[in-house]
Amino acid sequence: MTTLSRLADLPSFAAPPPLLTHRPPPSVFLTPKPTKPSPPHHFFKLRCSVAKQSTVTPVEVAADGAISSVDCVVVGGGISGLCIAQALATKHNDAVPNVIVTEARDRVGGNIITVEKDGYLWEEGPNSFQPSDSMLTMLVDSGLKDDLVLGDPNAPRFVLWDGKLRPVPSSPADIAFFDLMSIGGKVRAAFGALGIRPSPPPGQEESVEEFVRRNLGDEVFERLIEPFCSGVYAGDPSKLSMKAAFGKVWNLEQNGGSIIGGAFKAIQERNRAPKTPRDPRLPKPKGQTVGSLRKGLSMLPDALSSRLGDKVKLSWKLSGISKLDKGGYTLTYETPEGLVSVLSKSVVMTIPSYVASSLLRPLSAAAADALSKFYYPPVAAVSISYPKEAIRTECLIDGELKGFGQLHPRSQGLKTLGTIYSSSLFPNRAPAGRVLLLNYIGGATNPGILSKTESELVEAVHQDLKKVLIKPNAKDPLVLGVRVWSQAIPQFLVGHFDVLDAANAALRDTETQGLFLGGNYVSGVALGRCVEGAYDIAADVANFLSQYAYK
């Protein structure tokens, strides 16, 4: 279960752009909702967050507002949409040669926002990714291999418990030497992992809390998994589905009778399976680490957009979609050139589920009803900087702040979900003598952040840090950015797969064939999972067009 306690994607806001009003009109895609104006505050220096812009070649349209038919329209220019288009171009160009990506904003990347200013470089959405082969393939194909930066795999991760930041074991062999859990808690976890624990309830989908308490005990849940759920999903583990949110671990018990039994069985099956040669172009990361790019995560959507060229249509707001009698779809857009109609053999919707629900209702009420059920709680990303001497001495390693960051269980009384040590994790993120901290606050257990001003959010983070990481008498921080995502991360609640299956089943109807769902509520919330899901969806589109459509 140590993989569940990692800070690899804390939190991982990755996917198509979250639209930050609760029910926007279907033709409007909005930018992040600003918080209320902050009153004058005598010690916080606020700076605006400015997203990097991308441009593409202007499109040409006919006088009647129509363009020629395409094979696939990908709706949404966030990381999922761009990666689907890139996967179609690199893996399935023969089957799907003509693809466009439409984005309502004037930039690509969705909620990937990197800001560089005054010697600082910070993220206001996702912060990092796990360097899986799918992710590395996307980077290499995008020309970013030499821009990859990796965190130190030996850097510690911390969880706050009883007023102290305690390192998390990085492997099962380390568990005996860490003080995050008691001896009794470790013994309970070991027996449970071996299968000496209550059996799963028949016919009942367990929440993360129910699964972990039953298998590994209360301490593992309260001190590892609960803060991890807050960090990755900004979620409530009593409501998150173990099967949907942490399917790999859930499958271990299903396949092997216990977590350890399933792990051994998985190893045996992997050893028996034919070995597929690894792409020699891919870098070889060492250990359990996370990655970013030299100038931040925005380099990836910018590079993808550049390679796709005029296939990316910015400031195109989708106002309607209809099915053609002979197959395919007509999509109507408001664009800088006026109204444009696009005829397409297939469509991939990578926009948030609640926006897709509104747009798809005329085609399938059943799909729309299902998509409206997913919940996205609010999260704020607060980027602040302190001088190095502000860090508590007991939090330093060899005189430096080292590590990935820290997580805060809800039981420990802090409002902040967690803090990433950005300037320790990747190079060139802060000027010499300064530390850069990215803090997340809000989530399913604290939706009240939407009523707070920027200064109030900063002060809450500052007060939390003074309790555990920053000296109580430290000077006030330099505030670089406060980004509030009022609908941030889709929650994989109990029943998530049932709802998603209902939406997909409705779209497999003969009247709506060729329409696909993508994005983080489909593939997973981590940035890497969105990339992996993009390859899967691209293959589905290519298979559909090869077998069924418009020969």
Query: How would you write 355-374 as a 3-class SS string?
Result: HHHHHHCCCCHHHHHHHCCC
pLDDT at residue number 174: 75
Question: Averaged over 411-419, what is the pLDDT?
Answer: 97
Three-state SS at 69: strand
- The tokens for 391 are 């860090």
Give the dihedral of Cα atoms 394, 399, 401, 403; nearest 10 deg. Answer: -90
Length of the chain: 551
CA distances (Å), origin 446, targets 33, 414, 443: 17, 11, 5
pLDDT at residue number 250: 98
Its CATH architecture, for the domain 114-154+376-485, is: Alpha-Beta Complex (3.90)
CA distance 127 to 125: 6
pLDDT band at 49 (very low <50, low <70, confident <90, very high): very low
Task: Give me the CATH code for the 68-107+299-375+493-547 domain, please.
Answer: 3.50.50.60
- The tokens for 481 are 């950015």
Bridge-based pairing of strands 338-349 and 66-75 is parallel
CB contact at 8 A, 5 and 208: no
State the span(s) of the chain assigned CATH 1.10.3110.10.
174-272
Q: Which of 140, 61, 58, 83 lies closest to 532 in space, CA to CA?
A: 83
* Inter-helix orientation angle 259-272/183-194, to 10°: 50
Element (H, E) at 478: strand 478-485
Element (H, E) at 243: helix 242-245
Question: Averaged over 468-486, what is the pLDDT?
Answer: 96
pLDDT at residue number 509: 82
- The tokens for 279 are 């792409």
CA distance 372 to 375: 8
Burial of 540 (0-12, 13-18, 19+ CB in 10 A): middle
Question: Averaged over 262-283, what is the pLDDT?
Answer: 94
CATH number, domain 174-272, options 3.30.70.1560, 1.10.3110.10, 3.40.50.1100, 2.40.30.60: 1.10.3110.10
- What amino acid occupies position 212? V
pLDDT band at 549 (very low <50, low <70, confident <90, very high): low
Whether 220 shows a pLDDT value over 90: the answer reads yes
Kindly report the backbone phi and psi dihedral angles of residue 2, in degrees, each rounded to the nearest multiple of 5, phi listed first: -65, -30
State the span(s) of the chain assigned CATH 3.50.50.60.
68-107+299-375+493-547
Element (H, E) at 117: strand 114-117
Q: What is the mean pLDDT of the chain?
A: 88
pLDDT band at 40 (very low <50, low <70, confident <90, very high): very low
Whether 518 shows a pLDDT value over 70: the answer reads yes
Question: Averaged over 93-120, what is the pLDDT?
Answer: 97
Question: Averaged over 3-32, what is the pLDDT?
Answer: 32
State the span(s) of the chain assigned CATH 3.90.660.20.
114-154+376-485
User: Residues of the chain with pLDDT > 90: what percent?
Assistant: 81
CA distance 361 to 167: 49
Whether 6 shows a pLDDT value over 70: the answer reads no
pLDDT band at 512 (very low <50, low <70, confident <90, very high): confident
- What amino acid occupies position 494? V
CA distance 8 to 10: 6
Whether 527 shows a pLDDT value over 80: the answer reads yes
CA distance 213 to 219: 8
pTM of the model: 0.87
